[in-house]
Structure 1
Amino acid sequence: MKKLASPILAALLLSSLAPLPSAVSLAPTAAHAAVQPDTIREYTRPAKTANSEYNDRSVEAPVSWLIVEDHRLEACNAAGKCVTYSSHPILRINGEGRTALAHSLDTWSKQEAQDAKKGFDFTYECKKDDLRRDFLKETAYFDYSVIAKWGRVDEHMISFCLFGISYAGGAHPMHGKGGMTFDAKTGKEVGLAAIVSNRETLLQALAAAFRTQYPNREEELFAYDIDKQLERIHPAEKGLDTFSWYMGTRGELVFLYSPYALAPYASGDFTLTIKREDAPRLFTKAYPLK
């Protein structure tokens, strides 16, 4: 399963940017001769309840032994207004035990922090450049990810859906979804190969799910046909490595397709759900439900 990447792919090309110091100054120009340095600050806040109105916060875990927090990094100008921010989720175990899982979640959270820092650096540089040109002075740029939905969480598996969104100027933000699944006992990431029997059966089930869940929308796809589109973005030589997924609360598989994966941005994203009863030949005997 592929990890959720920053929706702004250009951020990956900017890994050579120097780390931001605690206070970064915008370069003075003729129009901004007295610009004061921005203040960079960091803080952590707890996850939201499922019915909370805040969209840039992760959803709290459905079990008491799993703690979710969001770590936020932001730049504020001399007036105290936020000009750029990023945040990423942190997962940790509450209490003793589950040592292997605790170590894996810590490693994952640290990787999320590195990715968030790259996203922050990228959007901050874009914001500074646009301010120099007097663009979008009142708009904060951002790059953040959250745990948007929990799937199966029990003594055998932890599975969830991530949502990431970035805005660095332009007509609209870029967003995407990704899934993550851990073995709750070993702490290891669960690969799709452990869950499904083979790629061909999976593609057939995905095509059937698309036609059921999104009827009369194949003409929107880049290939105008869901079978051809799936073959195009999931080539045989890549095996099962190109799929983004998580397991739902009832053992179903949920596959996530961000804008531009299947169709143009205007078509939005697509979520394809495969229930066990709809594709009995697809699921292996691994991680059975009670």
Structure 2
Amino acid sequence: MKKRAIILLGIIVLLSMSACTKKEKNITLEDSEVNIERAEEDPEQQTTDDIKDGQEESEHPDVDDTQSENTESMYVTYEIEPVQDDVSSDDLTATLATSEYELIHIISPQYPELTKAMDQWNKKQTEQYQEMFSDCVEYSKEIYVENPDNWMGYYTVSSGINVKRSDSLIFSFLESWDSFMGGAHPNHGNKGHNFDVKTGKELEIEDVVSDITELITVLDQRLTQTYSEDIFFDDDLSAYMKSYYLDPPEGERSKFQFIVGYEGITFYFSPYELAPYAAGSQEVCLLYSEYPELFKDDFYSTIPENYALQLSEYTDESLLIDGTLRTLCVSGMMDEYQVCSEINITIDDQVTTQETFSYNIKPYYVKHNGKSYLYIQSVSENEYEDFMIFVLKGTNAEYLGTIDGGIRDFNDPSKFRMEHMIHMLSTVCGVRYYHVGDDGIPVSDSEDYQIIGDVSLTSKIELEGDLIDPDTGKTTGTKTFPAGTEFVYVSTDYKNYVKFMVDQDQLVRLSVTDDDPQLVNGKDAEECFENLLFAD
């Protein structure tokens, strides 16, 4: 599946930020809170209520609220890095070849062996895609030069990553790939990667399954129950899989593609593996609770009660909802301008439709306190981000509301990061940490938004501010700063104040009200600072 890196557009002050969103809608940030557009009992009526501020404020709101390196967590934190490349014809009139893939960087310092393993995987992935891209460029140039007027489109190799489990036992991710290097149609498929978090070893099927022969028997039963028997290459599917995966007549045996998930192990079969291309891919999820003797309990004896995982859009996903294994698919209906006007959520055979306006979507499944939720991140004009929240009940998806902001590093419902566009003495990107509340709505863990990027303002006049102890957050006095002082943006509550660093060692709080015009110590902000820049 192709994924595209999100690139910030807009004012120059934002160029130093990373992965931030622009605010273009009428869902505003007020009263130190992110607003949520909630759905009322009448689905035709909607009002705007505030998201709840957390009861647990950060002890030091001016200090970055990321997890301490010495803190043990039951989740692995990571970052996904998109890599892209393309080549055009000499006259720049045609794209000849493209390459898109993703790398994973482990952030959690307590898992050094996993970090080494993923660094090695990244190196191998980079080498593989550079080689394939080189082939794409070579082949496409040959074809294009022969007949440029009938060029049918570029050659491409791409893959995207969805992390499916990231706790203290297993780090697993699904690599969905596709390619086109000529021929009747593109190719696509899935690769499962599962790593032992403590040792960094990538797991083989023998590491997690106690009896491979019995596994094949179970897979035969589930595949023929789920799909028409007519689609498979062989009527005796068990015998075919044994020859394919265990004892091939010639060459190396093929590997099962699987994901060791939170609730069970999912097996993925790409086109041409068990069935022809026209039959598409097949997928089977076997729950640990249904087959306790089939799987080794090393990797499911301790499973988090709450977790979040990214889903693949436009793809059937097997999920345990209300104790029942169901198939969920999130898809967007694109118009002629490649704008998604509505989102369809299909659980088994029941479809829920929600209106939207976005260019792409990214769904997350959230299990929290025994309930199932669906968060759908969307990106629209000017890279503005928001996400819709649904509670899943059986085959129903009930809309709860839409929240302004972009979710980052979402695998732990008890602590995850959101980025918001802040319009306070310029447009800046602010970060707060949240946890999923009892009703499925995110609750903020701190009052202040930490500002991303090196954003500074120069004063036009003398300004008096409160001096803040960065360790305690308490006011230690006041000081007047002369005109020409550089104030480096640190944080804001987006209501009453902005905190700056002055001379690299003085944390200063200025009174700022989000009025029209904005006021600094009761004076028009434009009279107080030079070059205030706001995004539209």
Q: Same fold (TM over 0.5)?
A: yes
Matched pairs, number: 229
Deviations 1:30-75 (A, max 9, x none): xxxxxxxxxxxxxx9469x9xxxxxxxxxxxxx6721011111211
Cα distance in 2, alignment partners of residues 194 and 162 from structure 1: 20
Residue 227 (structure 1) aligned to one of 238, 251, 254 = 238
Letter matched to residue 235 of structure 2:
Y
So what's the TM-score if we normalise by structure 2?
A: 0.40
1:255 is aligned to 2:267:
yes
Which has the higher Rg, Structure 1 or Structure 2? 2
What's 2:157 paired with? 143
Q: How far apart are the structure 1 equivalents of 2:272 and 2:284?
A: 15
Q: What is the CA-CA distance between 1:88 and the residue it aligns to? A: 2.1
Greater helix proportion? 1
Task: Choose which of 267, 291, 296 in structure 2 pairs with 1:279.
Answer: 291
Asked if the contact 2:171/2:195 (under 8 Å) is kept, the reply is yes
CA distance in 1, matches of 2:260, 2:241: 20
State the distance in 2 between where 1:248 and 1:65 align.
17
Letter in 2 for 1:111: K
Deviation string, structure 1 residues 196-244 (Cα, Å, up to 9, x no partner) = 1111111111112212322xx1122111232232123123479996211
Paired residues for 1:68-147 under 5 Å: 68-77=80-89, 78-79=91-92, 81-94=94-107, 96-134=109-147, 136-137=150-151, 139-147=153-161
Residue 270 of structure 1: aligned partner: 282
1:180 is displaced (CA, Å) by: 0.1
Q: CA deviation at 1:280?
A: 2.3
Q: Which runs of 5+ in 1 are unaligned?
A: 1-43, 50-62
Distance 1:176 1:207, change over 3 A: same
Q: Residue 98 of structure 1: CA displacement?
A: 2.1
Looking at structure 1, the residues matched to 110 and 5 of structure 2 have their Cα atoms a distance apart, in angstroms, of: 24
**CA distance change for structure 1 residues 273 and 284 in 2, over 3 Å: closer, same or farther?**
same
Check whether the contact 1:152–1:248 (CA below 8 A) recurs between aligned residues.
Answer: yes
Higher relative contact order (CA 8 A, sep 6+): 1
Percentage of matched positions with identical amino acids: 24
User: Root-mean-square deviation (CA), in Å?
Assistant: 2.6
* Aligned structure 1 segments of 4 or more residues deviating by more than 4 angstroms: 44-47, 237-241
Asked whether the 8 Å contact 1:46–1:68 carries over to 2, the reply is: no
Task: Write the distance in 1 (CA, Å) between the matches of 2:76 and 2:256.
Answer: 30
Q: Which amino acid aligns with 1:257?
A: F
TM superposition score normalised by structure 1: 0.72
Letter of the 1:191 partner, please give it. E
Contact map agreement 1:146 1:162 (CA 8 A) in 2: yes
Cα deviation for residue 253 of structure 1 reads 0.9
Specify every segment of 5 or more residues in structure 2 that has no aligned partner in the other structure, as ranges.
8-18, 20-74, 304-536
User: Which secondary structure does the structure 2 equivalent of 1:277 belong to?
Assistant: coil
What pairs with 1:1-290 in structure 2 (closer than 5 Å)?
45=5, 65-77=77-89, 78-79=91-92, 81-94=94-107, 96-134=109-147, 136-137=150-151, 139-147=153-161, 149-214=162-227, 217-236=228-247, 242-250=255-263, 252-287=264-299, 288-290=301-303
Residue type matched to 2:134 in 1?
D
